[in-house]
Every structure is written in C-alpha cells, then in structure tokens.
Amino acid sequence: MPESGVPPAAMPSVLASPVRIKFWGTRGSIAVPGSGTLRFGGNTTCVEVRADGEMIVLDAGSGIRPLGVALDNEFGTQPIKLSLLITHAHWDHIQGLPFFRPAYNQKNEIRILGFDGACATFSEILAEPMKAPFFPIAMRELSGKIDISRLSEMTFSLGKVQVHAIFVNHPGVCAGYRLFTSAGSIAFLPDHEPYEFFLHSARGNKMSPEQAKKTAADGHETLVQFLHGSDILILDAQYTDEEYQRHIGWGHASVSSAVALALDAEVHRLLLFHHDPGHDDQMVDKMLESARALVAKSGQSMEVEAAQEGAEILLEAKIAVA
C-alpha cells in the first residue's frame, strides 16, 4: 500500500501536462515582413503543437525557420524528435523547410507526413524545391534523420495523439487535420474555400443548379461533422466579403464564411488564419472586429481571435493519465 494509506485503485489520477500551441507563421501566400505586420506577423504558415509527449509541427512555411532556431536554442546538444504534418504543397506551406536548422543535425529525428499531390508523390513534392539549380543542398543530403511518410489513411496516431484528416476545398490536393489530445481537439484548416462556391464558379457551371446546390450542402455538412465541437479551430479567413467576390475559386474564405462554418460546427474557439499579404495589422483588427460582431449577432457563445505570430495558447488537460 502506498505511504498515503490510500489503496492504489482509489489513488487520485494525475492530469497530463497542458497542451501548448504556438504560432510561428500566420500569413498566407507570401511572407510580408515590415512595420505594418509586426503584431500579427509576416511569416507564412507554421504552427507548433506540444501535446502528450509529442512535438507536432503543422506546415512548413517561412515560419518554420525561426521555429528551428528556437528549438536549437532550447535543446542544445540534446536530440530533437518531431512530426511535421503538411496540408498541401503550395509554396507558402513548404518554403521554409530547406531553412529548418534541426534538419541539418544528425542527432535529430524528423518525420514528415502528407498526402500525394495531384501530379507528384509526396516525396517528389518535398524534394523538388531543394534540387539544383534552386537550392545548393538536396533533400537526400540533409544530415538529420528524415523520414518522409506518404499518408493513405484519414485516421492515424502520432504517439498518444490521434489525428483525423479530411480533404478540403482548395486547388490541388489539400488536407485539413484535427488533433485529439488530452486537453481537447485542435483543428487546422489553413486553406479552405466554402463549398458554396460551386453555386457561382466554373466548376459549378458544369452541373445543374440542383446538383451544384446539393454538392455544396453535402460538402459543408461533411466538414461541419468533421469539426464539430473542436476546442480550437485554426481556419482560413483571408478575405473580407467584398474581396472574396473578386477571388471566387482561389481556394480561400472570407471572414463571414469562416465564422459561419465555426458556428455551425459549434467550435469553442476560432482563430482567424492565413492573413492576406495585403492586409496590415489595422486591417486584421477590423476583420477580427467584424467576426466578433457576427458571433454576437448569432447569440452563440464562441471566442474569436486573429492568430498572432509568436502567440501561445495553453490548453489544460481534461483527461487523466496513470
């Protein structure tokens, strides 16, 4: 019997450590450093999640470079082990990988996971930007232990973290992920256009009005079910409503459609993400204000923030561990 005198079966459970989310890149399309983007950041997509003993990085935009520097400083001579989940191969989601310092250390283990693209395998996609004459060091020459894993299943595990994937509405092959942790679930959909675009797009014109309407409704409902009840949703909200009308079919969402999706899915906390490179901090502030007004008008309870480079979110554990 333990010194406390309490039988083992009655011993109180110990909660897992808090889950930490840190934003290293919040911008879409192209990096825009400068005085106008100091608060929300200029680096492209990269988010770090530490959960249940796992280090998981979401996308490898230019924000992965400062992440790599920070990890080197934190771990020193100790090995780094992490998993990198890639949503898709557009440049703003992989451009930082050749500059990720931990990939050049033979002690480190980096597993890179993603789906094949429409015209190339996942391995080919990652290797292409590092081929001559574009870059002096080839992917195969990286000294770190790099394991490139092609995803074929929509549900898989990274240690104790369960990951669900879904294909979203974006040009080419693009996935969204939902991580299930001891502190709740984190959904990451950095690039997604509402399925309603079928009602007024070239692809929609190939269908009857009834088919287009059904396709849009079915796609939306599938995504709502995938996201339902997420504790955190990091979601594409690149455009204002006015801007979206000029960018139908580009694969990105407006603030109002992002809020509508999150409300339909009864998400607890929405992070507006993939900020347009043409939007300065003041513009993002206005879009955040608009999003909060839409939530207030709905009468539902949902927190809304705009993702800020360098910001951290801590989620307290809900599930006890032995």
Structural domain includes residue 269 = yes
Has residue 8 been placed in a domain?
A: no
Instruction: Give the range of the structural domain holding residue 81, as residue numbers without chain letter.
Output: 15-321
Tokens of 214: 């059904």
Residue 195 covered by a domain: yes
Query: What's the whole-number mean pLDDT along residues 105-111?
Result: 98
CATH number at residue 158: 3.60.15.10
**Torsions phi, psi for 261 (to 5 deg):** -65, -45
Which among 224, 247, 221 is positioned nearest to 235, based on CA atoms?
Answer: 224
Q: How far apart are CA 126 and CA 272, in angstroms?
A: 27
Banded pLDDT at 317 (limits 50, 70, 90): confident
**Total count of domains within the chain:** 1
Q: Whole-angstrom Cα distance, residue 276 to residue 252? A: 10
Does a structural domain hold residue 6?
no
Q: Identify the CA nearest to 90 among candidates 214, 181, 175, 217.
A: 175
What pLDDT is recorded for position 321? Answer: 55
Asked, for residue 238, whether it belongs to a domain, the answer is yes
Band (80; pLDDT cuts 50, 70, 90): very high
**Is the full-model pTM beyond 0.85?**
yes
The verdict on residue 3 lying in a domain is no
Give Cβ neighbours of residue 113 (< 8 Å, ≥ 6 apart).
Answer: 83, 84, 85, 86, 149, 151
pLDDT value at 1 more than 80: no
User: Does residue 59 fall inside a structural domain?
Assistant: yes
Give yes or no for a contact between 78 and 125, defined as CB atoms under 8 angstroms apart: no
Q: Which of residues 48 and 318 earns the better pLDDT score? A: 48
- Over residues 127-140, mean pLDDT: 90
Q: How confident is the model at residue 197 (pLDDT cuts 50, 70, 90)?
A: confident
Buried-exposed string 272-296: b where 16+ CB fall within 10 A, e elsewhere: bbbbbbebbbeebeebbebbbebbe
Mean pLDDT over 173-187 rounds to 98
